Amino acid sequence: MDGKLYLVPTPIGNLEDMTFRAIRILKECDLILAEDTRTSAPMLKHFGIDKKVFSHHQHNEHKATSEIIKFLNEGQKIALISDAGTPAISDPGFFLVREAIKNEIAVECLPGATAFVPALVNSGLPADAFCFEGFLPVKKGRQTKFKKLTEEDRTIILYESPHRLLKTLEEFAQYLGADRQASVSRELTKMFEETVRGTLTEIKTHFENNTLKGEFVICIAGKTTSKSKNKYEVAD
């Protein structure tokens, strides 16, 4: 039998977003690779998935990949999941996928949850062309990235943590202009889901006076879009 690597998206918050196919694949595979076994355990238990689960994260993926490739070459079916969303999107997975392809092992990615898609569609900003930046560099290369994005015509999407959100919004206001239209979504699919739309300055002011909790997705109008007359109001 030929081995196969499955990339299986898991809910980013609401467990109802798990697909029937994802549940079936996780039940049928030989083993599951999880970013954090403690985080994945409650989700797997909820769906009645009882399989061997091994830790596979950014700190051990290079070391563990050779052993995983060996298992796949022996014909095992292995599923990779992250803590939430689609593996390899700002999460571990790219290195393993690349090595599997190099070894001519079949790789199949299931469609499913990922945070930036609903944030983009819900932003009201153009979604026909966009660039996804993931997490910005914390130190080295950060200013270079901002300067590069000043020329970006497409809608810009990135992830940010609560403790860096205000700083990032302030920096974008400095580089792109305080009146650049944007949208920030947090706690997507969860009970306290919130999307705030407006200028970068308006959004920053909102979060200076409200909850800074959860995971954030920032969408910012591109250079061309920002010149249009369309305006977005800050949502309560």
pLDDT in tens, 131-165: 999 999 999 999 999 999 999 999 999 999 999 99
Kindly list the distances between the CA atom of residue 105 and the CA atoms of 11, 97, 116, 187, in Å, as whole numbers in the listed order: 26, 9, 29, 36
Q: What is the pLDDT of residue 224?
A: 81
User: What backbone torsions phi and psi does residue 166 show, to the nearest 5 degrees?
Assistant: -60, -40
Residue 17 lies inside a defined structural domain of this protein: yes
Residue 123 lies inside a defined structural domain of this protein: yes
Residues 204, 135, single domain; the answer is yes
Query: What tens digit of pLDDT does each residue of 206-228 get?
Result: 999 998 998 999 999 999 876 65
Residues 68, 139, single domain; the answer is no
| Segment 39-57 mean pLDDT | 95
Q: What is the pLDDT of residue 199?
A: 98
Question: Quick one: tokens of 207?
Answer: 């979060």
Residues 82, 155, single domain; the answer is no
Dump the DSSP string for 92-143: TTHHHHHHHHHTT-EEEE-----THHHHHHHHTS--SSEEEEEEPPSSTTHH
| Poorest-pLDDT segment among 29-38, 55-64, 88-97, 171-180 | 55-64
Q: What is the pLDDT of residue 62?
A: 83
Dump the DSSP string for 137-199: PSSTTHHHHHHHHTT--SEEEEEE-GGGHHHHHHHHHHHH-TT-EEEEEESTTSTT-EEEEEE
DSSP 8-state assignment for residue 213: -
Q: What is the pLDDT of residue 225?
A: 73
Residues 94, 119, single domain; the answer is no
Dump the DSSP string for 13-79: S-GGG--HHHHHHHHHSSEEEES-HHHHHHHHHHTT---EEEE--TTTHHHHHHHHHHHHHTT-EEE
% pLDDT > 70, the chain: 95
Q: Are strands 77-81 and 31-34 parallel, antiparallel or unpaired?
A: parallel
pLDDT tops 50 at residue 233: no
Q: What is the pLDDT of residue 150?
A: 96
Q: What is the pLDDT of residue 227?
A: 61
In this prediction the pTM is: 0.90
The more confident residue out of 211 and 69 is 69
Residue 229 lies inside a defined structural domain of this protein: no
**CATH number of the domain bearing residue 10:** 3.40.1010.10
Tell me which of 93, 109, 125 is where a domain ends. Answer: 109
Total count of domains within the chain = 2
Q: Domain range for residue 9? A: 4-109
Q: What is the pLDDT of residue 236?
A: 43
| Segment 101-106 mean pLDDT | 96
Residues 138, 64, single domain; the answer is no
Q: What is the pLDDT of residue 201?
A: 97
pLDDT tops 50 at residue 77: yes
| Segment 100-125 mean pLDDT | 96
Residues 93, 124, single domain; the answer is no
Residues 119, 84, single domain; the answer is no
